[in-house]
Structure 1
Amino acid sequence: MTATEKEIEDRVRAAMRSDRRLGAGFRLARIEQAADGTLTLEGEVDNVAQKKIALERAAAVDGVAAIADRISVTPASTMGDREIRARLRDYFIQEPAFSDYAVRQLRIDEAIPAKEDYELLGGDPATARAQIDIEVRNGIVTLSGRVPGLASKRLAGVMAWWVPGARDVINGLAVEPPEDDAPIRIEEAVRLVLDRDPLVDDTQIRVGVRHRTVRLTGAVPSKAIRGMAERDAWCVFGVDDVVNEIVVAI
């Protein structure tokens, strides 16, 4: 017998509550199943890990054909879209891996919302090896354009999450030419991100990846760095779980 929409919604809620990483008190503002099997998830969660876990648990429920992701993350600090764009501009322009990329941002005329165009921040689109386009609306960062590898796509996405005011990151960067994904690709990206994070001392951190689960081991000098390393790994596109076995060496 086919489950009703209400039954599927209840199963999704139960699946989330049963996951120890989310906890029995975890709630989303809206879980709604449409007749075509599309499940809408909406609400604000504490971090990227909770967002990814909630999406994963919902997708595993029988009867869910697709998910409309409306989950945002509580920002670390309150920032307007203009400030978020400025931070992203600085991050991307200063990143050595993007030195031969063209970087543009969608310029929105607040007085005339329909008047939009792209502003070139750096590089020459005619000769650039790749292009990253930035759009920010209500704290949600959308990245589009093309990059030459999955590592670049993943690094750009994590850098967008580094902006304290970001509520969500939609990473629509196309990889050209297409590149097959594999655990080693994820491992390379996590290592690159940890190396680039100025707040993380990664000299004693080891990274292993099995399927889409990242395992972090090694030692760091503080709990704060241990937590930031885990957060960086969770922010990497394609990572489904993070096992943090880093010890704090005092």
Structure 2
Amino acid sequence: MQRSDAVFKQVMAAFERESHLKLHNHPIHMSCDGDALTVTGEVPNIASKKRLLRLTQMRSEGTRVVDQLRVTAAPAVGDGELRTRICERLAQAVEFRHCVICARVKGQLEVLRGTMDAAGNDGSGVVEVTVDDGVVTLTGQVTSLSHRRFASVTAWWVGGCRDVVNLLELVPAEADGDDEISDALHLVLEADRRVRAEQITINVENHRITLAGWVATEAERRLAEQDAWCLDAIDGVVNRIHVRA
């Protein structure tokens, strides 16, 4: 208990210094159980969730961190509606035009586009969406790391998502790295019509993303950063984008 309390105080102090946010209205809890440190609670957005987890891992002294943080969904969306929205968005995305799209409904698999026989064909894959209490789980297989990351971002883009667990397999296997993260974020920004991707530059070092460039509004600046935070397997985002006067 004392160890988790000490880590908690260090993490929350570092979080406030880094993000300039206080989470008094979003109670966070940490508890040690054997070789695991579990982090629970609700946070206002994906950036807060990723920051808290990264800071916890940095201060956990090698202890395994179990993520049970959830993003507050406002307004709340029912699991069925959220699952439908995500499946529709995946089906509409050019990036997944060759993928079979499925939903897991009450334990039963529903194929919404394509056939399972086609899932193994060259250039295709399968994405299965399950939603439980606002937590989206993606299973199946895709053909690139960029597509794997883009699937998570697509789920986050749909309002009402509280967390995304991406279990998509990569076939064929592909080594991850800074270039792969950069490629994925270019893909995401180009697909997000709310931002002008050509005005934003991306630099990735040791899985840490730095954004630069010029945009028209503060809202666009924040959206670009939010897109970056939605990517899986990153180590932070630094936003140096300027807003034109």
Question: Structure 1-normalised TM-score?
Answer: 0.90
- 1:95 and 2:93 matched: yes
Q: Of 33, 52, 67, which aligns to 1:69?
A: 67
Which residue of the partner structure matches residue 230 of structure 1?
Answer: 225
Deviations 1:162-194, CA, capped at 9 Å, x for gaps: 111001111111111111011000000001001
Provide the aligned length of Structure 1 versus Structure 2: 238
Provide closer, same or farther for how the CA distance between residues 196 and 69 of structure 1 changes in structure 2, counting only shifts above 3 A: same
Q: Of 156, 170, 174, which aligns to 1:175?
A: 170
Q: How does 1:198-213 map to 2 (within 5 A)?
A: 198-213=193-208
Which residue of the partner structure matches residue 33 of structure 1?
Answer: 32
Q: CA RMSD in A?
A: 1.6
Deviation at 1:51, TM superposition (A): 0.8
Q: Of 118, 123, 127, which aligns to 2:114?
A: 123
| Counterpart-to-counterpart distance in 1, 2:21 and 2:217 | 29
Which residue of the partner structure matches residue 10 of structure 2?
Answer: 14
Amino acid at match of 1:213: R
Deviation at 1:62, TM superposition (A): 4.4
Amino acid at match of 1:95: A
Q: How does 1:51-62 map to 2 (within 5 A)?
A: 51-62=49-60
Amino acid at match of 2:78: G
Deviations 1:55-90, CA, capped at 9 Å, x for gaps: 111112244521221100112422111211121111
Which residue of the partner structure matches residue 160 of structure 2?
Answer: 165
Q: Say if 1:41 and 1:68, in contact at 8 Å, map to a contact too.
A: yes
SS at match of 2:203: strand
Instruction: Pick the structure with more helix per residue.
Output: 2
Amino acid at match of 1:7: R
SS at match of 1:21: helix
| Counterpart-to-counterpart distance in 1, 2:241 and 2:97 | 33
| Counterpart-to-counterpart distance in 1, 2:195 and 2:167 | 27
| Counterpart-to-counterpart distance in 1, 2:195 and 2:138 | 24
Percent identity over paired residues: 33
Unaligned runs of 5+ in 2: none
